[in-house]
Amino acid sequence: MRILAFNFYFPPHGGPGALRPLKLLKYGAELGLEGMVIAAAEMDYPIIDESLLSEIPDSFEILRTMENLDPLRFLRRKKQGVIHAPRSDYFFLPDNKIWWIHPALKLGLLAEPKPDVVWATCPPYSAAIAASRAAKKLGAPLALDFRDSWTKNPNRPELPPIHRIINRRKAKKAVSMAGLITCVYHSICDEMAELAPDAKIALLPNGYDPEDFPAKIPEFSTDDPLRIFYLGTIYPDLNYPLPVLEAIEQESNVNLTIAGRYPERLMRDIERLGIRERVELKGYLPRREALALAANCDIMLIYIDNRPLNLGQITSKTYEYLGLGKPILACVPPLGEAAKLLKNFPIAFIIPPGNTEQTTNTIAKLLKLKQSGNLPDIEPPEKYQRKTQSRRWVELLLELVAK
């Protein structure tokens, strides 16, 4: 089966946006998938992970659009270190990758004129628009995949009414053409069912790839400090783990390692709390290097704040933490999807975000468990392996094409 894929993020780009399409295609190729991937220029995304290039299957050719199609490149030139630009949504709809739509569409139509299916992963939502237009012109079925909500994304600003109307119309026009829509969260499935009532909607969570983990998980001395690990970007105004920093100030035998981008605010708070010597800031690391670092820590940290739309969030790192089988400190909304997932695992310690006292008490409990040699672990659940998820995805695509 031949696929024409529109994936703005694709290796050597790093991060979850590139990882999900890569893993689906990597294991999908083992089941007979082949085709073309239309991606953004390497320089149009600042996060690079060249270690992922070796995983691109030979059955897929990667074509990239010209450079300078991401407006944020110009913002990053003026302000070094910017990691989040939500205000761009006031000027670019459906998102700040809108300049990519036409060049990607033109390239895709020329490169793969007879695909069995056209597919895109989102965000950026501009990829869905490019894919929907390609599917219409080529007369091919359309499949879409969503890692985040389009019209109810908690990480996007509260748009003015006219912006919301335009954004929803764009979303409905694109997704209503799809015969298949896969979503990482139940909440996104519900959203897509409203926007595209005739499409088949399927939950396809994120996952973990055992090949990304070190061959052996090291053992630690009970006399060592408790080592907490956080993977991913920390935003200055979203999912900011201040209670965890304050708890570390109270517990002197606890260290924190962060592998990901972080704002200047984090540095200021670390200095203010006097915990600089116990917080290790690694910045963005290649995925396997970051997971090797995680394997050398005791506790995996998730932080999702209490904003209402965050109830439907489960970060992609959650599944990689489960793949490691290590204890998880989950500061997440108690009624949210992340809590519902993690309550099924004895390694998860779920507490509400924003509560410094409860966070401190839980970390103290985890420290005692380590000192007594009783930190829990689990056998990684096979159903969340990337290979398992890809097998299910291929089945859905074959069903769509057969229709």
Res. 77: pLDDT tops 60: no
Are 95 and 218 within one domain? Answer: no
Residues 222 and 266 in one domain: yes
**Confidence at residue 291, expressed as pLDDT on a 0 to 100 scale:** 96
Overall number of domains in the chain: 2
Alpha-carbon radius of gyration of the chain: 21
Q: What is the pLDDT of residue 141?
A: 98
pLDDT average, residue stretch 86-112: 88
Q: What is the pLDDT of residue 87?
A: 64
Whose tokens are 């990337």? That residue is 386
Average pLDDT over residues 158-181: 92
CATH number of the domain that residue 324 is part of? 3.40.50.2000
Is residue 178 within 8 A of residue 150, CB to CB? The reply is no
Q: Residues 161, 50: one domain?
A: yes
- Do 366 and 390 fall into the same domain? no
132 in the same domain as 51: yes
pLDDT, position 238 = 81
Structure tokens at 335: 């009624």
Per-residue model confidence as pLDDT tens digits over 220-264 = 778 899 999 999 999 888 889 999 999 999 999 999 999 999 999
Q: Is pLDDT of 392 > 60?
A: yes
pLDDT band at 74 (very low <50, low <70, confident <90, very high): low
- Model pLDDT for residues 27-48, shown as the tens digit of each residue: 999 999 999 999 999 988 889 9
**With 60 as the cut, is the pLDDT of residue 79 above it?**
no
Q: How confident is the model at residue 275 (pLDDT cuts 50, 70, 90)?
A: very high
Residues 8 and 119 in one domain: yes
How much of the chain, in percent, has pLDDT values that exceed 70?
Answer: 94
Q: Are 198 and 214 within one domain?
A: no
Contact present, 327 and 294 (Cβ < 8 Å): no
Q: Which residue has the tokens 């910045």?
A: 283
260/370 same-domain check: yes
Are 154 and 278 found together in one domain? no
* 172 and 237 assigned to the same domain: no
- Residues of the domain holding 329: 210-382
Q: Which residues contact 344 (CB under 8 A, 6 or more apart)?
A: none
129 band by pLDDT with thresholds 50, 70 and 90: very high
> Quick one: residue 106, left, alpha or beta (phi over 0 = left, psi -120 to 50 = alpha)?
alpha
In angstroms, how far is CA 23 from the centroid of its own chain?
13
Say what the pLDDT of residue 84 is: 55
Residue 264 shares a structural domain with residue 306: yes
